[in-house]
Structure 1
Amino acid sequence: MGAIGAGIAALGAGIGVGLIGSKAMDAIARQPEAVNDIRANMILTAALVEGAALFAIVVGLLAG
């Protein structure tokens, strides 16, 4: 059961990072002059999502 939870956490992280990248590209297309600020925020947000997902994966594996 823990492996299923870990898999769901990994799937959620993949979807989350994909949405972050998609929205960042939309924002860059609308405001190309803000590319550096958008990129920095995108990388920071993606790192936070990956950190939360890693924590969820470890908890899922330890629980099961």
Structure 2
Amino acid sequence: AALANFGGLMRVMPGEGASAFGLVVIFTMLAAHSFDIRVGWDNVVDDGIGKDDFQPAETAPTFQ
């Protein structure tokens, strides 16, 4: 039986794509559950670039 039947124009039938889509959904849910953004920040190297150029907002140059 077709999932959607539009006369002679087209016919949509779930097949192998439905199981592949289900697996993609499950893998995406597992990946989202195990993802932790803080782990990425643990690997950041603080090399001090740009710290000498810091200016507070009151003294920072403005462009007009």
What is the TM-score of this pair, normalised by structure 1?
Answer: 0.36
Structure of higher RCO (CA pairs closer than 8 Å, 6+ residues apart): 1
User: Which structure would you say has the larger Rg?
Assistant: 2
Higher helix share: 1
Higher strand share: 2
What is the TM-score of this pair, normalised by structure 2?
Answer: 0.36
